[in-house]
């Protein structure tokens, strides 16, 4: 009878759920409730009748948290193994018209590090300077012995608030960092 029944083990279900969730996260505009649509249910049932896809709650909460944790572990390994690190920062506005400041690290491959929302601070020089210092402290201050000298450059745009933020960062790190900042004129 086993020859005629295709079953889905719990281990395989976890693997498929994870792969489908990652596909959703990496595809812009795909709703988390995609598998609740009757056509998707039908298509998945044809592919593997015993498989039950994750709910939007599973995709938006436990699977998303697992993906985040795995990505962060991978990013931290890459940062720790890097021979040198550059910090790249840029501000932008999301679809809800909220300001965001993104930080990427190059190891030399790029790693998305974090995104912060200034809120009422509205991307002031003091806020940006504090956030750049926070990024430096997070990268070198996790107790693993990473030396601040591994950070060889900080790249921002040429906005006046970014240039003013450099003075705040220089105050704290100029004796330690060899090369602190570079302007990208866009």
Residue 8: name the closest of 58, 53, 62 by CA.
53
Can you give the three-state secondary structure of the chain, one letter per residue? Answer: CHHHCCCCCHHHHHHHHHHHHHHHHCCCCCCCCHHHCHHHHHHHHHHCCCCCCCCHHHHHCHHHHHHHHHHHHHHHHHHHHCCCEEEEEEEEECCCCCEEEEEEEECCCEEEEEEECCHHHCCCHHHHHHHHHHHHHHHHCCCCCCCHHHEEEEEECCCHHHHHHHHHHHHHHCCCCCCCEEECCC
Do residue 103 and residue 156 come from a single domain?
yes
How far, in Å, CA of 41 to CA of 44, rounded?
A: 5
Counting the structural domains of the chain, the total is 2
Q: What is the CATH number of the domain that holds 100?
A: 3.30.420
How far, in Å, CA of 27 to CA of 3, rounded?
A: 36
* pTM to 2 decimal places: 0.72
Position 64 scores a pLDDT of: 96
> Which residues face 105 on adjacent strands?
87, 111
Do residue 43 and residue 135 come from a single domain?
no
Do residue 170 and residue 86 come from a single domain?
yes
How far, in Å, CA of 97 to CA of 148, rounded?
A: 35
Position 183 scores a pLDDT of: 44
pLDDT tens digit sequence for 63-72: 999 999 999 8
Domain range for 135 is 82-183
Do residue 177 and residue 98 come from a single domain?
yes
Position 91 scores a pLDDT of: 81
Residues of the chain with pLDDT under 70: 1-5, 121, 142-146, 174-186
Do residue 32 and residue 109 come from a single domain?
no
Do residue 62 and residue 109 come from a single domain?
no
Residue 76: name the closest of 149, 150, 146 by CA.
146
Position 164 scores a pLDDT of: 87
> Which residues face 154 on adjacent strands?
87, 181
pLDDT tens digit sequence for 41-65: 999 999 999 999 999 999 999 999 9
pLDDT tens digit sequence for 143-154: 555 577 788 888
Q: Residue 127: left if φ>0, alpha if ψ -120 to 50, beta else—which one?
A: alpha
Pairing label, strands 110-116, 151-156 = unpaired
Position 3 scores a pLDDT of: 60
Do residue 93 and residue 135 come from a single domain?
yes
How far, in Å, CA of 113 to CA of 86, rounded?
A: 11
């Amino acid at each position: 009878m086993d020859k005629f029944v295709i079953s889905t083990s719990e281990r395989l279900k976890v693997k498929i759920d994870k792969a489908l969730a990652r596909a959703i996260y990496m595809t812009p505009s795909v709703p988390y409730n995609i598998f609740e649509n009757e056509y998707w249910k039908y298509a998945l049932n044809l592919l593997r009748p015993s498989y039950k896809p994750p709910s939007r709650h599973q995709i938006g909460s436990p699977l998303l948290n697992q993906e985040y944790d795995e990505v962060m572990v991978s990013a931290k390994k890459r940062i720790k193994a890097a021979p040198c690190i550059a910090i790249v920062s840029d501000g932008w506005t999301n679809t809800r018209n909220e300001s965001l400041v993104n930080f990427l690290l190059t190891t030399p491959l790029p790693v998305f590090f974090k995104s912060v929302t200034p809120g009422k601070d509205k991307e002031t020089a003091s806020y940006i300077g504090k956030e750049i210092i926070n990024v430096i402290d997070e990268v070198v201050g996790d107790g693993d012995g990473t030396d601040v000298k591994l950070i060889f450059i900080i790249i921002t745009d040429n906005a006046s608030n970014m240039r003013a933020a450099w003075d705040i960062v220089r105050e704290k790190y100029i004796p330690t960092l060899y090369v602190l900042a570079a302007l990208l004129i866009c």
